Amino acid sequence: MSDAIASLNLTPVESMFRNDYRWLLGRLRLKLGCAFTAEDIASETFVQLIALPDPAGIREPRAMLTTIAHRLVYDFWRRRDLERAYLAALAAAPEGATPSEEERAIVVETLCAIDRVLASLSAKARNAFVYSQFHDMTHADIADRLGVSKRTVRDYLAQAMHACYLASVQ
């Protein structure tokens, strides 16, 4: 940290922002290829840093910023992929079934929330839930697709429903 910045008597987060924001922004621009998205994620990184219980206790600020930013980039990419998949499904839908922009935004938010809830499950449990809820497959069809028993499919679906329930009561 430069002597000029140290003499300003800044809080640790202010100091990190002054010292590391441009560095983080540069890394994110390279990774994302979009200055606007990089700025959004860099800003959100500092918002999440401020929300930490003890930001003053951070010994390696750039490591912490990188960890938070990578998580946010992953979330951004995951959301973008979900949104693209939804828009592709809409494009294949009949002409009269086009939802409004508000309805699209609500559906994308809901899909992202479901994705976050299911992220804690195994890949087979996630797939079983998706096949059951979005593809209307029977337990037997899901079992064949996943190469497991119908009983295991019921267990997977119970795990997924339990995760959804827990998320709904939080």
- pLDDT for the residue 166: 87
pLDDT value of position 76: 94
The domain locations on the chain are 7-97
What are the residues whose beta carbons fall under 8 Å from the beta carbon of 76, sequence distance 6 or more?
32, 37, 41
Share of the chain above pLDDT 70, in %: 94
DSSP secondary-structure letter at 97?
G
What's the average model confidence in pLDDT over 47-68?
Answer: 91
Instruction: Lowest mean pLDDT of 10-14, 42-46, 107-111, 142-146, name the range.
Output: 10-14
Residue 59 · residue 51 · CB < 8 Å: no
How much of the chain, in percent, has pLDDT values that exceed 90?
56
